Structure 1
Amino acid sequence: MTMIDIIQSTILFLALNLLAFSVYYLDKQAARRGRWRISERTLLTLALIGGSLGAVAAQQLLRHKTRKEPFRSILVAILILHGALAAVLAFAPQWSLRLPQDF
């Protein structure tokens, strides 16, 4: 993996987590104002596709859906999954997916 790949991956990771945090924030504001809400499926999907840290940060900082089950348990499971995947990639990089270099 080249330095540019690492930078691009980091930017994508940060963007996904910022997006997840922002969407959780918008949903919290909608809840406070009694407006249309973002579905739990959408919130969890954002976490699953890479925004789990942003989702958990928003949940804790905004106190959003902290008592809602099974939402809370699913979000924790996604976070654990992401942690396990990161550990595998860090300690066994030969298991990472090999993408073609030329598209």
Structure 2
Amino acid sequence: MAITRSRRAAGRGSYLAIAAFAVVYLVGAVYWPRPLWVAGAYLVTSMICFAVYAIDKRRARFGGWRVSERTLLFWGFIGGWPGAIVAQQVLRHKTQKKSFREAFWVTVFFNVVLFVVVSTPTFDRLVAQAIN
């Protein structure tokens, strides 16, 4: 029973990553506005990522051909990680395998770092210089 409670607590903690990213996104938007499509891209990739997790969960239950972990990690890395977190908790999928969880959080870290770097005025200046 204690293991179940600690897993649930860890799962709820995963939702904090989404909330923290939302704060970073909103604070960043105040200082360095981004086009609305950026938020839309996170939403769409999250929905696709959730669907891919759901497909994999269904295939795991019924013995079908599974979605590769590489594919799941890819969708998380390109911005679908909030949807992946929700899928992991709601569907109780991909929460047991430690190596996958570690790889997943590495992809989340790199996605957020990349987002922060690309969202700064310094990046905008570098792109403008490269174009000129």
Please tell me the TM-score bracket, short chain as reference.
0.7 to 0.9
CA distance in 2, matches of 1:79, 1:9: 16
Quote the residue 2:122 is aligned against. Answer: 94
- Note if contact 1:56-1:75 (Cα within 8 Å) is conserved in structure 2: no
1:22 aligns with 2:51: yes
1:66 aligns with 2:116: no
* Count, aligned residues: 95
| SS, match of residue 37 in structure 1 | coil
CA distance in 2, matches of 1:93, 1:75: 29
Higher helix share: 2
- Note if contact 2:78-2:111 (Cα within 8 Å) is conserved in structure 1: no
CA distance in 1, matches of 2:122, 2:105: 27
Where in structure 1 are there 5+ consecutive unaligned residues?
A: none
Quote the residue 2:86 is aligned against. Answer: 57
Of the two, which has the highest radius of gyration? 2
TM-score (normalizing by structure 2): 0.61
Report runs of 4+ in structure 1 exceeding 4 Å deviation.
Answer: none
Deviation of the 1:89 alpha carbon: 4.7
Identical counterparts, % of pairs: 39
TM-score (normalizing by structure 1): 0.76
Where in structure 2 are there 5+ consecutive unaligned residues?
A: 1-32
Structural RMSD (CA): 2.2
Deviation of the 1:85 alpha carbon: 3.2
